[in-house]
Amino acid sequence: MRTRGSVLVGKGLKLWLAAVALVLATAIVSALFLPRSFGLTAASDIVQCLLLISGTAAFIPAAIRSHGRLRLFWSLVAAGVGLWLGYQLFWTYYELVLRRDVPDLCAWDIVLFLHFVPLMAALALRPHVPRDEYAARLGRLDFALLAVWWCYLYVLIVMPWQYAVPKISAYNRNLNGVYNAEKIALLGALLICCATSKGGWRKFYTSLFAMNFCYSFGSTVANLALARNAYYSGSLYDMPMIAAMASLTWIGLRTRVDRPGAEIPHAFTAYGVWIARCSMIAVFSLPVFAAWSIADVQVPGPIRTFRLVLTLLAAFCLGIMVFVRQQLLDRELVRLLNQSRTAFDNLKRLQAQILQSEKLASIGQLVGGAAHELNNPITAMLGYSDLLLNTPLTPDQRPSAEKIGLYVRRTRSLVASLISFARQTPLPKSLVDLNTLARTAIKLAQPQWEGLRVEMRPNFDPELPKVIGDSNQLLQVCLQLLANCLHVLTERGGRILTISTHAHAGICVLQIATEKLPSTDTAPRDAENNLALSACQGILQEHRGQLCRESSADGSVHLRVELPAADPVPAKPKEATVPVMWQSRPYA
């Protein structure tokens, strides 16, 4: 839906374009019906000034609403049209205010020549391409080098006939030749931009090409008429140039390309290479111009001397620019070389990691298969150990039978951990209550700690946040840690085991600790315990948690599980829970 502001802006643009069309119609009517006179000259000069003012102003909004490279692009286009306007104002001042013809040897002609340079700079930015791989600093330096070369070319060919040996015919001939060469170069650059762009950018470049072609054609026709003494200001010979000036406003107001278009990858490198080649050609052309200056014996001696000295100065300036460019290029190449070396080292490390991962995957498959095969005999041993405990045993036999059942259960827990650790596919996770999980683990391990005459002391935080994870895997971790601590108590003669939960700084902590033990060397060192804790650590890493094992100075052992708390959500999701019987009947 269009807002009132956009409607007003649209009406304003239409009125602007209508005013430009009216000014253009005025120029055409004046050329058709007014005789050659001061009034016709005044009307033509004023019309051209108005059209160029309008054309300059038409590109300013695009520069204001753009950013970065696009803002520079539109600013350079406006600057090019502004230089054209400046030259036209100078011409109008002479003809209307001073009422004199512009001098044949005019220093302001260089302004007309240079008004194409910002346009070439704008095209060199290639705003229709999102990103060039050619370094921006090198690109700007190459353009500066080419701009200096164009100025050198003008001073070399045109100015000697203006200051060294003034000669109007030679000055006009050389000025027209250099100016036409510059116009051809600009038209060629516009054709390249048209071929390498799409959408709105192609329409813009096409319109700009048509405008410059119309202007070039009109100026050529006017020069031919001037040579036959048939030209005068405001005549029909001016109409192609005036039409080109009027089209600038239409191009500036109707163009809506405020962002780069689609990438053309194959053009990136070629563009940078050709810009560098053109700059090198410009540098190597200086000796050619120096030789031409010496060999051209038809021109007066002062002109040859002027051209030779100018070429030497230009060679010195361009040499400095080439040296700076080479320094920048060397730095860029060194940076790319360092990046390549780093990338190669990273690639080698990645290959080593992939190879190690493949080995671990094979080991995991082997361990998973072996663990499944061990489940059946372990289940049988567990059943026989329970039957053995239910038979009449002497006081000396019962502790040994209880240890058999304990070690069988620890082995079964270890096998379950190995199966979980070898599993490759991550399981879906949901909200889990660590308090409920710990109570369930205590209940499931009750035959073990009661058989060993261990006192269980739970201490759970009722405000503990929930965590996100797989309840079966986390329950398996709790059971394995309980079995580990029970093994420590059995080996060291302890009788009290504390299991607690609390939260700190967004981390939920589950801690299992033994009482003070007689021996300070309490850390489990056998391979079975280390492997079981490694499996638990692997499960916790999948849950973005960690397992810490500490031994206090008093000989107690602390196993701490840390898991990130789940973010609070407005809707209560479905929880992955452990059996309902343990939730409804918490252990105390």
Q: How far is CA 389 from CA 329, 402, 447, in A?
A: 84, 7, 12
Largest CA distance in the chain: 139
- pLDDT digits 0-9 by tens, 192-244: 888 888 888 889 999 999 999 999 999 888 888 888 888 888 889 999 999 99
Return the minimum-mean-pLDDT range out of 210-219, 395-404, 412-421, 482-491: 412-421
Give the DSSP per-residue string, 201-270. Answer: HHHHHHHHHHHHHHHHHHHHHHHHHHHTT---TTSGGGHHHHHHHHHHHHHHHH----S-----HHHHHH
For residue 121, what pLDDT is reported? 81
Average pLDDT value for the chain: 80
Neighbours of 15 (CB within 10 A): 10
Q: Is the pLDDT of residue 580 over 60?
A: no
For residue 47, what pLDDT is reported? 94
For residue 273, what pLDDT is reported? 61
Q: Are 31 and 236 in contact (CB under 8 A)?
A: yes
- pLDDT cut 70: percent of the chain above it: 82
Alpha-carbon distance of 134 to 139, in angstroms, equals 7
- pLDDT digits 0-9 by tens, 328-361: 777 877 888 898 899 898 888 888 888 877 776 6
Return the minimum-mean-pLDDT range out of 251-255, 259-263, 496-500: 259-263
Question: Which of 100-109, 178-187, 512-521, 548-557 ranks highest by mean pLDDT?
Answer: 178-187
pLDDT band at 131 (very low <50, low <70, confident <90, very high): low
For residue 420, what pLDDT is reported? 64
- pLDDT digits 0-9 by tens, 82-92: 999 999 999 99
Q: Is the pLDDT of residue 64 over 80?
A: yes
Neighbours of 155 (CB within 10 A): 18
Q: Is the pLDDT of residue 58 over 90?
A: yes
Domains of the chain: 4-295 (1.20.1070.10), 428-584 (3.30.565.10)
Segment 392-409 shows an average pLDDT of 78
Segment 385-407 shows an average pLDDT of 78
Residue entry with tokens 């650059």: 189
Q: Is the pLDDT of residue 93 over 60?
A: yes
pLDDT band at 522 (very low <50, low <70, confident <90, very high): very low
Q: Is the pLDDT of residue 541 over 50?
A: yes
pTM of the model: 0.57
Residue entry with tokens 């300013």: 60
For residue 274, what pLDDT is reported? 65
For residue 120, what pLDDT is reported? 85
- pLDDT digits 0-9 by tens, 317-334: 888 887 887 787 778 778
